Structure 1
Amino acid sequence: MQVDFYHLTVTPLARALPQIAEKVVASGARLLIVSGDAEQRTAIDRLLWSYTPDSFLPHAQIGACDDTVQLVLIAGDVNAANRARHIALIDGLWRDEALDFDRAFHFFDEEAIRAARGAWKGLGEREGVERRYWKQNDAGRWEQAA
């Protein structure tokens, strides 16, 4: 199980998440996007339709249509109704249920740094969990720092 920690310092979630989602879908996998914040889920839903003029990333919010056929599903909790094996936690909160997936993307900003550090430390003590920490350089490019 792999957990990628993405510390949002330069690039906002609105730019980072679509890139990750595109890569997951391009690999033939499915993604579950989780946020406990209903407004954030609505904003991400809108964003994934329009983040670039030529973008098309099929997705839906949970319960909006047939969840089982969605390549990308947005939910308020860890409910992989689309049978996703990848999960993106976008509200800064780590959830241990993410360990049931093959890969987790944990996005957090400065407000959630303390909790992210706690999650990083706790996951380091778990067998079978590979952690990677991604930070942004001055140019906004992601670099693996740990």
Structure 2
Amino acid sequence: MAEIWFYHLQSRPLEQVLPTLLERSLARGWKVVVECSSRERLASLDDRLWTYADDSFLPHGTAGEPDAAGNPIVLTTDSDNPNAAQVRFCVDGVRIPDALDTYERVILMFDGDDPEALASAREDWKKLRARGLAATYWQQDDTGRWEKKA
């Protein structure tokens, strides 16, 4: 069963923190799938992962590309797992999937300044707890560092 982590974004936006978390996942030898809520958001994150640092980039592709299965990171708008990833990031309003058994870790990242995103994350937290599943809650401090809250 997957570890489930909630990341409450407060002081830094997704575009700033996602690349670092993806780097950490790759360093562990994991493949990653990032599910976005729209094609526009996917395109924006796709561009960001190529340009987030002057001296680095994250090797990735998008679902539907012929070589998606061979990419260490795949961006998608669907619930599929095109590269047999061990980690799934749910961003930009995407909810925690019901099927958790194919992942080692599922990460929900949500904007703490968005009341709708906050409410959805709370619903997912309660749903997981009702199923008897454990989840970990991380919140950004003022400097952007992650603090484990639950």
TM-score bucket of the superposed structures, by smaller chain = over 0.9
- CA distance in 2 between counterparts of 1:108 and 1:60 reads 23
Between the aligned partners of 2:98 and 2:31, the Cα distance in structure 1 is 17
Identity in percent = 35
Once the 2 structures are TM-superposed, how far is the Cα of residue 98 of structure 1 from its aligned partner? Answer: 5.4
With over 3 angstroms needed to count, the CA separation of the structure-2 counterparts of 1:98 and 1:55, relative to structure 1, is farther
> Which of 108, 111, 114 is the equivalent residue of 2:119?
114
Q: CA deviation at 1:95?
A: 3.3
> Which has the higher mean CA deviation after the structures are superposed, 115-124 or 86-95?
86-95
Structure 1 gap segments, 5+ residues each: none
Q: Any stretches of 5+ residues in structure 2 without a counterpart? A: none
Between 81-90 and 129-138, report the one with greater CA deviation: 129-138
Report the counterpart of residue 105 of structure 1 in structure 2.
107
Deviations 1:99-133 (A, max 9, x none): 23220110111320011001111111224x33111
Task: Give the distance between the partners of 2:41 and 2:27, measured in 1 at CA.
Answer: 24
Q: Is the 8 A contact 2:96 2:108 kept in 1?
A: no
Mapped partners of 2:63, 2:97: distance in 1: 20
1:46-65 aligned within 5 A:
46-65=47-66
Aligned counterparts of 2:26 and 2:99: Cα–Cα separation in 1:
18
Structure 2 CA distance, aligned partners of 1:116 and 1:104?
13
CA distance in 2, matches of 1:95, 1:138: 26
**Matched ranges for 1:84-103 at <5 A:** 84-97=85-98, 99-100=100-101, 101-103=103-105
1:31 match: 32
In structure 2, the CA distance between the partners of 1:105 and 1:17, relative to structure 1 (3 Å rule), is: same
Q: CA deviation at 1:143?
A: 0.3
- Read off the aligned partner of 1:20 and give its amino acid letter: L
In the other structure, the counterpart of 2:69 is 68
Alignment of 1:133-144 (within 5 A): 133-144=137-148
- CA deviations 1:42-86 (Å, max 9, x no partner) are 000001111011112110011123111010000011211101010
| Aligned position for 1:41 | 42
